[in-house]
């Protein structure tokens, strides 16, 4: 029982394990702090999905977007027009002046696809809020050909 070597080794091991756990916790907290969050997406859950003649656009009614952030909008359109919508026609987003008189220069991009009469298809629209945008709520219109739906973007 006079062997201190075995006791010393276990105390060193305990201290080493405790220090390792502390450094692991600090490293994980730094990773979560500096990693950007996932790009918010809109699930295909609307009042009516897929869209139909009565509700021809499926889009979330309210988005909260930080300045300088990009949002992926999963939207769906139903073609209730008189002709097919060609792939050259892409969805666009335009925002009006808000209550404070500010405008939102929203950048958006998308790809088109052929949408025959009486059919619904999903579209992916990327929207980016510039860093210099003024915080506030903006009413925006999502349009594909003659089909339009309004929604709100709140810039945080």
Same domain (yes/no): 85, 134: yes
Q: Is residue 9 part of a domain?
A: yes
Q: Which pTM was predicted?
A: 0.64
Distance CA 41, CA 73 (A): 6
Walk along the chain (156 residues) and give the pLDDT tens digit of each residue.
566 555 666 888 888 999 999 999 999 888 877 776 665 544 445 666 778 888 888 888 888 888 989 888 888 899 998 999 998 888 989 988 888 888 888 888 888 889 999 998 888 889 999 999 889 999 999 999 888 888 889 998
For residue 85, the 8-state DSSP code is: B
Same domain (yes/no): 26, 93: no
Instruction: State the residue range of the domain holding 144.
Output: 57-155
């Amino acid at each position: 029982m006079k062997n201190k070597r075995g006791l010393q080794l276990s105390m060193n091991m305990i201290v080493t394990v405790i220090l390792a756990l502390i450094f692991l916790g600090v490293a994980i907290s730094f990773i979560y702090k500096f990693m950007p969050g996932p790009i918010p997406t809109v699930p295909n859950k609307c009042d009516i999905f897929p869209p139909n003649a009565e509700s021809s656009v499926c889009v979330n009614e309210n988005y909260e977007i930080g300045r300088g952030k990009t949002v992926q909008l999963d939207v769906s359109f139903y073609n209730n027009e008189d002709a097919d919508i060609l792939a050259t026609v892409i969805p666009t987003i335009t925002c009006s002046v808000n209550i404070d008189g500010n405008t939102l220069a929203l950048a958006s991009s998308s790809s088109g696809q052929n949408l025959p009469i009486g059919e619904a298809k999903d579209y992916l629209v990327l929207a980016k809020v510039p860093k210099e945008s003024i915080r506030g709520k903006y009413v925006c219109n999502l349009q594909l050909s003659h089909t339009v739906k309004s929604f709100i973007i709140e810039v945080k």
